[in-house]
Amino acid sequence: MEVSVITDDIFAQMVAEEVKNKLVPSRRQELLKEENWDRWRRALYALCENLNEQIADLEVDAKSDAIRYKALGQDGVTLAKTAQRAYEQKLQKINRFKFHVESRLNQVESMIADGVAPEDEETIAKYRTAISKHKELLEEYDMESTSIDRALWGVLDGKWEFDSIDVSTL
């Protein structure tokens, strides 16, 4: 059985694509493997640092261009305004992406601390919704609940009552 090793560059690219929600599900499953969680976190930290550097570089470039264009007199005013808008748009785009990277970093750090992958949390939320809908439908259609139904609803309150169901009463 051949084991493929994901290089750091490819892994970093996967992480960036995952933040953009453009990573194919099979590759996302690689990130979700517990042995990759710390690597995922480190890649997100590196991505944040890279984005901070890009922001700092753009701010320096914007100041330099403003000074250079100001020296051109009236013609430079138009150039300076155009350049300023372009820099603001780039900074806005980078800051928006940085926000998503930081959000994902928080999720990954929580995942590591809790030992629960985000997929598990999403699944749990879906099950909670399904159980609640089950109860709602039984009540809406005035159907009698069984001990199995009530045990299922108990799960929402953190109770495990399945072991106490009396099969003879079903």
Percent of the chain with pLDDT over 90: 51
Structure tokens at 38: 């710390």
Average pLDDT over residues 144-159: 87
Residue type, position 23, single letter? L
In this structure, are residues 163 and 147 in contact, taking their beta carbons and an 8 Å threshold?
no
**Which of 69, 98, 115 finishes a domain?**
115
| 119: confidence class by pLDDT, cuts 50, 70, 90 | low
For residues 108 and 158, state if they share a domain: no
| 116: confidence class by pLDDT, cuts 50, 70, 90 | confident
pTM here is: 0.66
In this structure, are residues 20 and 103 in contact, taking their beta carbons and an 8 Å threshold?
no
Report the candidate in 112, 101, 104, 93 with the shortest Cα–Cα distance to residue 54: 93
Structure tokens at 64: 């330099």
Whether residue 13 is contained in a domain is answered as yes
For residues 85 and 128, state if they share a domain: no
Q: What's the pLDDT tens digit per position in 15-35?
A: 999 999 898 888 988 898 999
Structure tokens at 3: 């084991």
Angle CA 99–100–104, to nearest 5: 120
Whether residue 1 is contained in a domain is answered as no
For residues 84 and 142, state if they share a domain: no
Average pLDDT over residues 110-124: 76
For residues 65 and 135, state if they share a domain: no
Cα–Cα dist 80/75, whole Å: 9
Domain count for the chain, please give it: 2
Cα–Cα dist 36/123, whole Å: 20
Work out the end-to-end distance of the chain between its first and last CA atoms, rounded to an integer number of angstroms: 49
Cα–Cα dist 81/72, whole Å: 13
Which residue range(s) make up the domain with 73?
A: 8-115
Q: Of 117-121, 123-127, 132-136, which has the strongest mean pLDDT?
A: 132-136
Predicted confidence at residue 124, as pLDDT, reads: 74
Angle CA 80–81–86, to nearest 5: 95
Whether residue 69 is contained in a domain is answered as yes
Whether residue 2 is contained in a domain is answered as no
Residue positions counted in the chain = 170
In this structure, are residues 94 and 58 in contact, taking their beta carbons and an 8 Å threshold?
yes
Average model confidence (pLDDT) across the chain: 89
For residues 102 and 55, state if they share a domain: yes
**Which of 98, 115, 132 finishes a domain?**
115
**CA separation, residue 118 to residues 29, 31, 38, 56, 155 (Å):** 11, 11, 14, 32, 20
